């Protein structure tokens, strides 16, 4: 198959490219090496793929690249919560605008193949909660007064009682609570709109949970928390753990995430819809910080700070991906985090083209 991978020089995209190339596919990568994530051409680019160092928002990007493409694996996006709301226009431009331009050019070529979209668990907002009296409930955004007082757990919107967090299935309602989350949901909607107007096309939205592993970017405002903690330990400082460290997430290894993409692209029949891509084994943020701690390093510093766009608990049900996509995580969280503690992070091997 001839496959276009957008963002294929990035953390997750580069692993997707590796696995597609190893499957003897003709892989073309479009990546603009966003300075927020790349100092130059990164280590890990695969010699078996063809790279186009250009922006998916530029119409000239698509000249010749989309000819005879069988599938598109759309990884390109600005990730993380960013610095503050001043990042909003850049998130919308890169994530929503970039997706819209890509889809426009697929439309012009009457593309009717598979689209695999890198989505995110952030579209759910808060996870799934149950009240002993009122059953399944959806708590509203956490109040600043509560967060300032160290009351981090969401409460029942009807009676104020403590809630029990449960695994999130794909039909859990979406409620994006920051700019990045809003743009990821918009990407899903744009791809779904394309498929509705192009019979024969399909879209698989892979809602990644907390991805970690080799080639994560180093400590930037846009890096994942695992990378930020790793960088702190390497600098000889204690990683700062927000809230009380009890936030629960599902950490999934990048090799598994890449494999989910390959399955979505190459399975005999397309798996349409949204899928949680997760390990199915939740851990707290403090658990993860301790798992990454080298011998002799300082203990994590639980600082009690918070970010308003953050949520308390979200961890996933893996069952739909297993039954419809044929995907189950193969790398268990504990061994994966031990390996990641010394795995190479992203580095540049050549200047920006």
pLDDT tens-digit map of 156-176: 999 999 999 999 999 999 999
Calculate the alpha carbon distances from 32 to 5, 8, 86, 322 in Å.
12, 10, 21, 33
Q: Model-level pTM greater than 0.75? A: yes
Give the three-class secondary structure for 112.
coil
Query: 89 exposed, middle or buried (CB, 10 Å; 0-12, 13-18, 19+)?
Result: exposed
pLDDT single digits (tens) 1-29:
999 999 999 999 999 999 999 999 999 99
pLDDT of 49 > 90? The answer is yes
- Contact between residue 77 and residue 7 where contact means Cβ atoms under 8 Å apart: yes
Alpha-carbon span 258 to 260, nearest angstrom: 5
Q: Using CA atoms in the order 278, 283, 284, 285, what is the torsion angle rounded to 10 degrees?
A: -60
Structure confidence at residue 192 as a pLDDT band (50, 70, 90): very high
DSSP-assigned letters across all residues of 27-93: EEEE----TTT-SSEETT--TTSEEE-S-TTSGGGGTTTTTT--EEEE-----S--SSGGGHHHHII
One-character DSSP codes across 272-309: -EEEEE--S-EEEHHHHHHHTPPTTPPPPEE-----TT
From residue 211, how far is each of 156, 214, 219, 231, 327 by CA, in Å? 30, 10, 15, 16, 15
Beta bridge partners of 249: 283
Helix axes 179-196 and 98-108, enclosed angle (nearest 10): 10
> Residue length, the chain?
353
Average pLDDT over residues 30-50: 93
Confidence class for position 221, pLDDT limits 50, 70, 90: low
Average pLDDT over residues 280-287: 96
């Amino acid at each position: 198959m001839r496959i276009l991978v957008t963002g294929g020089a990035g953390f997750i995209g580069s692993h997707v490219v590796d696995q597609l190339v190893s499957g003897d596919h003709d892989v073309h990568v479009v990546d603009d090496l966003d300075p927020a994530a790349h100092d130059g051409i990164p280590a890990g680019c695969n010699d078996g793929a063809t790279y186009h160092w250009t922006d998916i928002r530029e119409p000239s990007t698509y000249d010749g690249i989309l000819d005879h493409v069988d599938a598109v694996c759309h990884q390109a996006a600005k990730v993380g919560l960013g610095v503050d709301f001043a990042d909003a226009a850049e998130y919308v431009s890169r994530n929503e605008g970039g997706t819209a331009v890509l889809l426009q050019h697929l439309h012009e070529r009457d593309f009717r193949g598979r689209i695999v979209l890198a989505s995110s668990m952030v579209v759910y907002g808060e996870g799934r909660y149950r009240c002993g009296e009122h059953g399944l409930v959806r708590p509203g955004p956490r109040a600043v007064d509560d967060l300032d007082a160290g009351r981090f757990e969401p409460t029942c919107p009807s009676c104020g009682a403590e809630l029990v967090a449960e695994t999130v299935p794909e039909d859990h309602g979406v409620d994006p609570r920051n700019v990045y989350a809003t743009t990821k949901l918009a990407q899903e909607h744009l791809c779904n709109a394309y498929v509705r107007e192009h019979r024969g096309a399909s879209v698989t939205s892979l809602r990644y949970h907390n991805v970690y592993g080799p080639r994560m970017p180093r400590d930037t405002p846009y890096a994942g928390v695992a990378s930020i903690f790793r960088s702190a330990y390497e600098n000889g400082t204690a990683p700062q753990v927000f809230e009380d460290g009890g936030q629960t997430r599902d950490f999934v290894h990048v090799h598994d995430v890449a494999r989910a993409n390959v399955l979505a692209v190459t399975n005999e029949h397309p798996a349409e819809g949204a899928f949680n891509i997760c390990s199915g084994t939740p851990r707290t943020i403090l658990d993860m910080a301790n798992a990454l701690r080298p011998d002799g390093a300082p203990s994590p510093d639980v600082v009690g700070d918070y970010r308003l766009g953050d949520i308390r608990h979200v961890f996933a049900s893996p069952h739909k991906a297993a039954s419809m996509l044929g995907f189950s995580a193969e790398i268990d969280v504990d061994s994966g985090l031990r390996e990641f503690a010394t795995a190479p992070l992203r580095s540049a091997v050549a200047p920006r083209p």
